[in-house]
Each structure stands twice: as structure tokens, then as C-alpha cells.
Structure 1
């Protein structure tokens, strides 16, 4: 959904992430309250319009259960935050997920009788899940991990790749082709 919203209008994404700062006024007693619509200037109307557009896009992208959960939200940011906690969990839950995925990443090995394509697919699933939680690894680290996870019978091919290629600049997909060819 992030990419979809950003391609429509990057300002929408900024509004969702940073909040809309809906127009307010400060009363004589110091209370801050929503500004009445009849007092909006052009900037206020633009802010409210962008917020409404962002809310509309979010609502169109969710199911009825999620709609019921966020329908009372005033701003697109509030909607997004509520959906984020629902689907990703609190920071504590995110950290637990990251910890579990990092453990999977660290313990990753090629399974017996598993082909390279399936192994790479499993590996990519772990990497994508980590990236969704803002935990990233460089291509260099991932290439080295893929090469380390192979069984001893693959060591001559691993050595050949390490000697022939600069692992610091090698994209993750590059060793996949070499390993699949070797597998044949």
C-alpha cells in the first residue's frame, strides 16, 4: 500500500506518516480546538483536502472488518497508525518478530535434497519479512550468507565464485544463476 499511495501523490504519504496538523484555533482559556470550517483559509482547505484524499485511499484498500476498526478516526495518520499496530503489532511485537527472523537468517542452511531455486526463495522470504520490519542487510552480507549456507559438496563452486567475483558489489541475484547452472 505504501508504494501505491506514494505513486499517487507523495504528499499523501508524508501526511499519513507525519500527520495532517488539521486546522485548529486556540481559545481564550488556552484550549486548542478544531477550527470551524467557515474560518478556513486556502492552506487549511488544502490540508483538509489532502487528509480526506488519504483517508479515502486507505478506506478503499481495506476490508469491512478493518473499516469498522478505523471508521472513527479523524485523520489518515490515525487510521494508518491503528492499522499498523493491528497488522505489525506494537514495538515490542515488532522486536520479537525481528528477533525471530534474524535467528532464522543466522541459522539458514540449504536443506538436504532442496534445489537452489527453492532455497533462494526461502531465503528471499526471510529477507523480505525483515525489510518489512525495517531491518535490512547489504547485498554483500546476503551473498556471503547464501554462499556460507551451502553444504561441503558445494565448496569448490563457492570458492570459484569468491575468487571470480567481487562479493562487495555482487547483487544477490548473481550467484543464484551460477549456483543453478552448477546444480544441473
Structure 2
């Protein structure tokens, strides 16, 4: 199977990320995830679902006031709806991990959620916003500074 066929993906397999083709892959991956389940891309955009229990304010026997707070809910007490949300998060992470080439995998496999993985991939593939802007400015300068040399034909300038 050719590299082009692998990078396209299918209904059951996400497109493979090729180095230097991140922006195209991102569009393909968004469409793939939306076709699988609209909630997958929402999970990536909003981050993983975390359920909390509200703890009410209490006063201990010694008269110490414990303020109201939230505590992370133990997964064994999740409702069916909460379990479905967690399952969507896991699917989004799995699909995103499936398309990462081996040379990138070791750099980003520490991410615990699909959102973290997506953000890390984008940062790694595009660089920081400053470096992207710097590269864009360099390209604009090179384009604007392009001129034919004296006594040079158009073909030679083009080449």
C-alpha cells in the first residue's frame, strides 16, 4: 500500500500524520472524528470529562469550620451518562494515538487526554506562535526581496 493511501485513512482508520503535512492532516482528522461521533471532537476541544461531588460546609465537633468544596468523583460511582462521557474521551484519545507516526510517538505519548495530545501535537508540528510568525515574516521578506539579477533571463531567475 502506498504512503498516499495510508495517509488518507478510511471509515474505520484515521488518516496517518505525515511530517510536514500537519495542516492537511488536521482537517482530515477533524472530519474523520466528526463522522465517527460529533462528541469526539468536542472532547478534544473541551478536554476530558471530570465528575465532581459537592461537599457541603461542615463544622467539626471541635468547632472547626470546613468550607464547602468539590472532590473528584470515584469512577465506580459514575452514572451511565458519566460513563458514556468518559468512554468518548477514551475513544478520542485512541483514535488520535492511532495516527501518530513512530518517530513522534515517544515525544507525545505522556499525554493523558485527547485534548493534551492534540495540543502537544499542534505545538510540536507548528511550533510556538512566535516561531510561526517568525517563519512567516522570513517568507514574506524572501518573496518581497526576490529580484532578477542584472542581465539574467526570466527563466534563470525562475530556476
Coarse TM-score class (shorter-chain normalised):
0.5 to 0.7
Give RMSD over aligned pairs. Answer: 3.0
Q: Report SS of the residue matched to 1:113.
A: helix
TM-score, structure 2 length as denominator? 0.56
In structure 2, what is the Cα distance between the partners aligned to 1:104 and 1:40? 57
Tell me the residue number matched to 2:43: 15
The Cα of 1:38 is off from its aligned counterpart by 1.6
In structure 2, what is the Cα distance between the partners aligned to 1:47 and 1:108? 54
Tell me the residue number matched to 1:72: 110
Structure 1 alignment gaps of length 5 or more = 120-184
The Cα of 1:107 is off from its aligned counterpart by 4.4
Tell me the residue number matched to 1:113: 155
> Is 2:117 the partner of 1:51?
no
Greater strand fraction, Structure 1 or Structure 2 = 2
More RCO (CA 8 Å, sep 6+): 2
> Is 2:122 the partner of 1:95?
no
In structure 2, what is the Cα distance between the partners aligned to 1:56 and 1:62? 11
User: Which residue of 60, 64, 72 corresponds with 2:98?
Assistant: 60
Greater helix fraction, Structure 1 or Structure 2 = 1
From the superposition, tell whether residues 24 and 105 of structure 1 become closer, same or farther in structure 2 (CA, over 3 Å). Answer: farther
Decide whether the 8 Å contact of 1:19 with 1:75 is kept in 2: no
From the superposition, tell whether residues 41 and 100 of structure 1 become closer, same or farther in structure 2 (CA, over 3 Å). Answer: farther
The number of aligned residues is 115
User: Which residue of 42, 51, 74 corresponds with 1:24?
Assistant: 51
In structure 2, what is the Cα distance between the partners aligned to 1:21 and 1:59? 15
Displaced runs of 4 or more, over 6 A = none
TM-score, structure 1 length as denominator? 0.50
In structure 2, what is the Cα distance between the partners aligned to 1:112 and 1:76? 50
From the superposition, tell whether residues 38 and 95 of structure 1 become closer, same or farther in structure 2 (CA, over 3 Å). Answer: same
